[in-house]
Amino acid sequence: MIIFPQAKINIGLHVLNKRPDGYHEVETCMLSVPLFDILEILPAEEFSFMQSGLHVDSEPSSNLCVKAYILVKQTYNCPPVYMHLRKQIPMGAGLGGGSSDAAHVINGLNELFELNIPIQEREYLAAQLGSDCPFFIEGTPKIATGRGEILHDISIDLSGYHIKLIYPAIHVGTAEAYAGVEFYAGKENLSKILALPIEDWQGALVNSFENSIFKKHGVMREIKDLLIQEGAVFAAMSGSGSTLFGIYETLPTPIDFPESYQQFCLSL
């Protein structure tokens, strides 16, 4: 079995407050984009995991794919497998690649061994691995609330538009992002803003992490401004960074950036 875990962007991200449990209350819209890792899962006599592609600076045992397998095995006693992950989605980039990989392990094991795990149960398992993980079980547009694990369907269709993703080789850790976060003080909820025409999103949609992160990494603000200047109808930072994205009516061309940057021009 070969499956393709997809990346996501956040269209608006409101951090509302800090909860008594130490997590933050958020409100965000997550949308899948056609940038993929490649995940192979095969039945095997004993469990093994290998990873190729982009370098992952961690032990295999701490990889979310391995943790997802162990979680499903403990709960449903599924057989051992061989897993090979080819990493292509940049890490620490606000694109949810690791979360997507974990969710697709759960979906893949469910299909491969006919475990018949309902969607809600798969989302519950995924939530134990990370706040973004449940979104990728279905991968359809969602409003996420709570710490990001409570999902609500939303009708948003950007087919016919195009997107440019720019990862400027800056790793923004979760702790760094939340250390300077500015709580959302607006009165409009996200669903109401997203109901506006896309041409009205810029300035109305807020990512609560942008101001503090842009102060520390000024090049990220410059990239966002550049995306708008070259014709993006909406541009923002995804998640807690550091990927910047622009949404366009026509397919954009790559910008001349340093070789360390990763840049993707895709059709939605």
Assessment of whether the complete model's pTM goes beyond 0.85: yes
Q: Give pLDDT tens digits for 144-199.
A: 999 888 999 999 999 999 999 999 999 887 788 888 888 988 888 899 999 999 99
Give 52's pLDDT tier (boundaries 50, 70, 90).
Answer: very high
**Rounded-to-5 percentages of helix, strand, coil across the chain:** 30, 30, 40
Beta bridge partners of 264: 165
d(CA 138, CA 155): 14
Question: ω into residue 131 within 30 of 0, thus cis?
Answer: no
CA atoms lying within 13 Å on the CB side of residue 150: 7
d(CA 246, CA 231): 9
- Helix (H) or strand (E) run with residue 18 in it: strand 6-18
% of residues, the chain, pLDDT over 70: 100
Can you list the domains of the chain with their CATH numbers? 2-153 (3.30.230.10), 162-267 (3.30.70.890)
Helix (H, G, I), strand (E, B) or coil at 211: helix
Give 259's pLDDT tier (boundaries 50, 70, 90).
Answer: confident
What are the catalytic residues?
8, 132
CA atoms lying within 13 Å on the CB side of residue 87: 22
Helix (H, G, I), strand (E, B) or coil at 40: strand
